[in-house]
């Protein structure tokens, strides 16, 4: 879904909380073949509408009826996709519907604490999803790094962007506005369809690993994914969930800390190479080094410093580790690490088609940031 709103002033963004201006166009594009632009007839706008074979244009004399048609369409789909729909499109539709006299009970849109949901389906805001640092850096390799607008992200990922416009949408004729509105909605939907529905498969994978609803996983950073996964495993085992203060009280003080640079997790120490030309050089790499260490040494909050006479992995550090029972963090990280290294990383190289190889590469990259952040 993408909407266009009348504005009396150039470059003024309407306030969705006030919703004081008319919705003049709504583009609805579906994976089931729906291709429709709902347009409000405007006085003084007599521009001829050209025939478009790829989508249908429906005119409404009443904004009330236009909004009701949009609300009806929302209830017919299990997933509604927008770009910045949390902050603009859906709140504007909701408040505009109220202003036009539609009752709350008839509006399948609900504002949650930090996002907007729809009924009976779920709402995915692609703006929020692409803003997740783990998705930007690892799932898409930073191809849209720093971009937050629909145009920039679409060009980087899909190779196509928004239609250029020379004037405010309020001044566009019917044909020009329909084309502009339709393109935005089509791009938004295509994010979920391109490359064999790769993005939707990735969202479902992350949702299952983190045990989080789709609406939450697409709006939260990787730390929330990990925290929720650990919460779920504690509840499944019937364990109390400790907070930071409980762990420090039980285990003592923090002796060593992870080094984090900016938004990324620090890797190994990088040595400056000697100058010169060298031959017979070999590359030595460890697959998922830190997760492997966590898994091998059974590192978890309940196994580290569990008793004074436990094994000490490194003599120069004060930590001891109990290895008689598998730790929760060690088990989870080990499973994800093995899936990545032994399954998805190999599939990313050996899958029969380029589309499958790219999908598996995205999956293993997403799992990499998941286990590294753990």
Same domain, 60 and 166: yes
pLDDT in tens, 42-59: 887 765 666 678 899 999
The model carries a pTM of 0.85
Same domain for 206 and 279, yes or no, is no
Are 47 and 205 in contact by the 8 Å Cβ rule? The answer is: no
* Residue 2 bridge partners (DSSP): 27
Residue 280 has a CB neighbour count (10 Å cut-off) of 4
In a domain, 223, yes or no: no
Question: Of 170, 194, 217, which closes a domain?
Answer: 217
Residues 74 and 184 in one domain: yes
DSSP notation for 294-333: HHHTT--TTTBTSSTTSB-SSTTS---B--SS--HHHHHH
Number of domains forming the structure of the chain: 2
How far apart CA 211 and CA 217 sit, in angstroms, is 9
- Domain shared by 48 and 178, yes or no: yes
The confidence score (pLDDT) of residue 255 equals 61
* Range with the poorest average pLDDT among 19-33, 152-166, 240-254, 261-275: 261-275
Q: Where does residue 31 rank: exposed (0-12), middle (13-18), buried (19+ CB within 10 A)? A: middle
Which helix or strand (DSSP H or E) is residue 5 part of? strand 2-5
Question: Same domain, yes or no, for 164 and 111?
Answer: yes
Of 189, 217, 245, the residue that ends a domain is 217
- Could you tell me which of 74, 72, 28, 35 has the C-alpha nearest to residue 54? 35
Locate 126 and state its tokens.
């692609």
Residue 330 counted as domain residue:
yes
Same domain, 173 and 120: yes
CATH of the domain at 336: 1.10.287.690
Identify whether 246 is part of a domain.
Answer: no
Q: Tokens 């201006």 — which residue?
A: 21
**Rounded average pLDDT over 128-154:** 90
Per the CB < 8 A criterion, the answer to whether 305 and 320 are in contact is yes
- Are 192 and 263 members of one domain? no
Q: Where among 170, 191, 217 does a domain terminate?
A: 217
Task: State the burial class of residue 367 (Cβ atoms within 10 Å of its Cβ: 0-12, 13-18, 19+).
Answer: buried
Which residue segment(s) compose the domain that 333 sits in?
A: 253-373
The span from the first CA to the last CA of the chain, in angstroms, equals: 36
CB contact at 8 A, 210 and 230 = no
Which structure tokens are listed for 36? 């429709």
Asked if residue 244 belongs to a domain, the reply is no
Closest CA to 205 of 363, 34, 27: 363
Same domain, 41 and 188: yes
For residues 305-327, b (16+ Cβ closer than 10 Å) or e, as one string? bbeeebeebeeeeebbbbbeeeb
Q: What is the CATH number of the domain that holds 110?
A: 3.30.420.10
pLDDT score at 341: 86
Do 162 and 271 belong together in one domain?
no
Query: Does 239 fall in a domain?
Result: no
Q: What stretches of the chain show up as alpha helix (H) in DSSP?
A: 63-74, 90-99, 126-130, 133-134, 150-157, 174-210, 214-217, 222-237, 244-251, 289-296, 328-339, 345-350, 354-373
* Cα dihedral 226→215→186→139 (10° resolution): 0
DSSP symbol at 2: E
Using one digit for the tens of pLDDT, what is the confidence trace for 86-135?
999 999 999 999 999 999 999 999 998 889 999 999 999 999 999 998 88
- Tell whether 229 is covered by a domain: no
pLDDT at 2: 98
- Please check whether residues 64 and 200 belong to one and the same domain: yes
For 58, phi then psi, to 5°, come to -120, 125
Together in a domain, 29 and 176: yes
What residues are paired with 4 via a beta bridge? Answer: 25
356 or 90, higher pLDDT:
90
Structure token digits, residue 345: 């990383």
Pair 8, 121 in one domain: yes
User: Residue 83 falls within a domain, yes or no?
Assistant: yes
Is 243 contained in some domain?
Answer: no
pLDDT class of 256 with cuts at 50, 70, 90: low
């Amino acid at each position: 879904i993408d909407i266009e709103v009348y504005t009396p002033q150039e470059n003024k963004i309407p306030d969705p909380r006030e919703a004081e201006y008319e919705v003049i166009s709504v583009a609805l594009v579906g994976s089931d073949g729906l291709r429709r632009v709902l347009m409000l007839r405007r006085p003084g706008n007599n521009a001829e509408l050209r025939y478009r074979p790829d989508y249908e244009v429906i005119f409404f004399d009443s904004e009330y009826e236009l909004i009701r048609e949009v609300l009806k369409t929302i209830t017919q789909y299990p997933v509604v996709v927008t770009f910045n729909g949390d902050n603009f499109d859906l709140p504007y539709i909701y408040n505009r519907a109220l202003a036009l006299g539609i009752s709350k009970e008839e509006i399948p849109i609900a504002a949650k604490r930090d996002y907007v949901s729809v009924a009976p389906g779920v709402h995915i805001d692609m703006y929020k999803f692409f803003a997740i640092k783990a998705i930007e850096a690892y799932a898409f390799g930073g191809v849209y790094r720093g971009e937050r607008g629909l145009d920039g992200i679409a060009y980087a990922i899909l190779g196509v962007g928004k239609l250029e416009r020379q004037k405010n949408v309020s001044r566009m004729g019917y044909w020009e506005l329909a084309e502009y509105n339709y393109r935005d909605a089509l791009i938004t939907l295509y994010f979920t369809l391109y490359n064999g529905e790769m993005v939707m498969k990735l969202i479902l994978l992350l949702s299952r690993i983190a045990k989080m609803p789709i609406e939450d996983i697409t709006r939260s950073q990787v730390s929330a994914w990990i925290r929720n996964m650990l919460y779920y495993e504690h509840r499944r085992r019937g364990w109390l969930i400790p907070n930071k203060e409980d762990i420090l009280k039980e285990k003592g003080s923090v002796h060593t800390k992870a080094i984090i640079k900016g938004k990324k997790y620090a890797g190994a120490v990088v040595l400056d190479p000697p100058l010169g030309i060298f031959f017979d050089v070999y590359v030595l790499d460890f697959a998922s080094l830190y997760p492997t260490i966590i898994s091998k040494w059974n590192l978890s909050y309940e196994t580290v410093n569990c008793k004074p006479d436990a094994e000490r992995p490194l003599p120069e550090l004060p930590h001891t580790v109990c290895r008689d029972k598998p730790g929760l963090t060690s088990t989870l990280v080990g499973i994800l690490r093995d899936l990545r290294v032994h399954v998805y990383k190999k599939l990313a190289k050996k899958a029969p088609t380029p589309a499958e190889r790219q999908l598996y590469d995205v999956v293993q990259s997403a799992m990499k940031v998941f286990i590294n952040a753990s």
